[in-house]
Amino acid sequence: RAGLRAKRKRAYSMDSADLVEKRLPTEEIGGRTMTKILRKKFSWKNYPELEAFLIANREEYLRHSALNYTIQQKQYNNRLTERLLELAAEQGYVFDEEDFSFVTVRDRIRCYFKSYVQSAKKRGVIIGYAARKAGLLTEEDLEKSAGIAGRIVLPSAST
């Protein structure tokens, strides 16, 4: 059984040669060919439409991350995840249900932004929750930010 599982994962793993030749793993779903995205070896950069969506929403995501565990942050993160899943389907991508749930996709989005924040921190730029923790945001700033509804942006087709 473990051998079969390893074989299946290998069949769906993506390397740079597969990406260049557009031989991504596919599956017929509802008469449409969908590209599978698996948990192992998955990188947003291999799905440019989805990465462009995350980049377009980065500033708003980071603003909400400074609110740290508020209902506004939770609602925004859930809406962002829902919209990313819709966009993925529109672009012909499907997250493999064996490896992904709504929560795991949301966690992968969080990790994407966490990496961005950590990279910025190494360059001396403090953003998101780290800015709050460092005292760069006042309580007034946070209250004002909490009162602003979160926007979800779709990048232009040329992005």
Q: 0.85 exceeded by the pTM?
A: no
Bigger pLDDT: 73 or 86? 86
Alpha-carbon gap, residue 95 to 55, rounded angstroms: 20
pLDDT at 14 (0 to 100): 34
pLDDT at 141 (0 to 100): 63
DSSP count for the chain of H helices, then E strands = 8, 3
What tens digit of pLDDT does each residue of 50-67 get?
999 999 999 889 888 877
Give the mean pLDDT of the chain: 74
pLDDT at 135 (0 to 100): 65
Backbone angles phi, psi at 123, to 5 degrees: -90, 5
Give the list of residues 6+ apart from residue 62 with CB closer than 8 angstroms, or none: 113, 117, 127, 128
pLDDT at 45 (0 to 100): 92
pLDDT band at 27, cuts 50/70/90?
low
Q: Which of 11-25, 66-80, 140-154 has the lowest mean pLDDT?
A: 11-25
Q: CA Rg, the chain, in Å?
A: 18
Rounded mean pLDDT of 128-134?
Answer: 63
Q: How far is CA 83 from the centre of its chain?
A: 10
